[in-house]
Amino acid sequence: MNNQKPNIRDATVSDLENFVKTANQPSFRKSQIDQWLWQKNIDSFAQMTNLPSELRTQLQQHFELRNIQIHQYQISADKTIKFAFKLPDRHLIESVLIPTENRVTVCISSQVGCSLDCRFCATAKMKRIRNLYWWEIYQQVQFLQSKSFHYFQTPVTNVVFMGMGEPLMNFNNVISSLGLMTSTDGLNMSPGRFTVSTSGIPKLICRLADENTGVNLAVSLHSANQDIRKEIMPFSEKFPLVQLLDSLVYWYRKTNVKITFEYLVLKNVNDTMEDIYQLVDFCKKVPCKVNFIEYNPIEGDRFQEADWNIVEQYQKILLKHNIHSTIRRSRGGDIDAACGQLANKMGVTL
């Protein structure tokens, strides 16, 4: 028989309301409990100091309080900090705190491992063990908010679902975490500060559009040629570009939010003039911008970054066709914290 107590972080609103009522406590105690859980990030019921000791004892008897924990960290020469979090079942995930001149961005994970097989990504070489629970996603941001204040004396300004895993393959938990992160009961962050990055799963992009969350969407494109994209991202054979484009048109029609295309330019893969004009044609079909990202080598990968003049050529021709693009410089490459490098290889133990 399993006598394990329920995790209070999984308790529904009605669960907690009923618990407070059964404990013969006034209804406002439920809000106080929520504040301790979601705004103050405690790790024991004893820390709920504005609750009567009797109620704290009842909470302890009825619930477990499970948390993710910071397990290790590394600090890059550019001040990027990578954290390994240990989950309650002892699996590890990684998140990254990225300071720049005008903002602090956190890159968070949504799965232990990854469901997909993008060949340029170290996480994709890991087995997908499980999806993260919504509160495990939420707690990454909650912890990194406090670390941002500690290291940089400023709050987190942006959150990107670009860490380990494919966010849309953990749809319900991602949506639930966003709901609390943007709520006054949680982190009270603007939805526009969040970006969900996907490798491009058409049905789930449409589903995200229907949720009307107000978040931004980034799509790992890397080629507007189906055969080349399949070479870079084999899973995309199941999700042809024509289907992806239909879902992106639907996204924009529903949300009026431009799509960002993430784009690696790889030597002898997608670095020809034909590749450039195929991207131009694709971009003309839906309001978008293009982020060129630096290729970060991973062990066992055959890819090489294209010559820089090719990226400049891409940008020049996109601009000629009124398509905005930027170059996103990698951060934290010296500690394997850059895009595509998260694979649970860490250093300093806390």
- Find all residues with CB under 8 Å of 65, minimum gap 6, and list them: 7, 8, 9, 42, 43, 44, 45
Terminal C-alpha separation, the chain: 36
How many Å apart are CA 259 and CA 169, to the nearest integer? 19
Residue 121 annotated to the active site: no
C-alpha angle 329-332-336 in degrees, rounded to nearest 5: 120
Residue 114 annotated to the active site: no
Q: Which of 94, 136, 262, 294 is catalytic?
A: 94
Q: Which of 107, 114, 118, 339 is catalytic?
A: 339
- Find all residues with CB under 8 Å of 319, minimum gap 6, and list them: 325
Which one, of 107, 68, 108, 105, lies nearest residue 90 by Cα?
A: 68
Longest dimension (CA), the chain: 72
How many Å apart are CA 333 and CA 319, to the nearest integer? 29
Q: Do 321 and 276 meet the contact criterion of CB atoms below 8 Å apart?
A: no
Which one, of 44, 40, 156, 55, lies nearest residue 108 by Cα?
A: 156
Q: Catalytic residue positions?
A: 94, 339
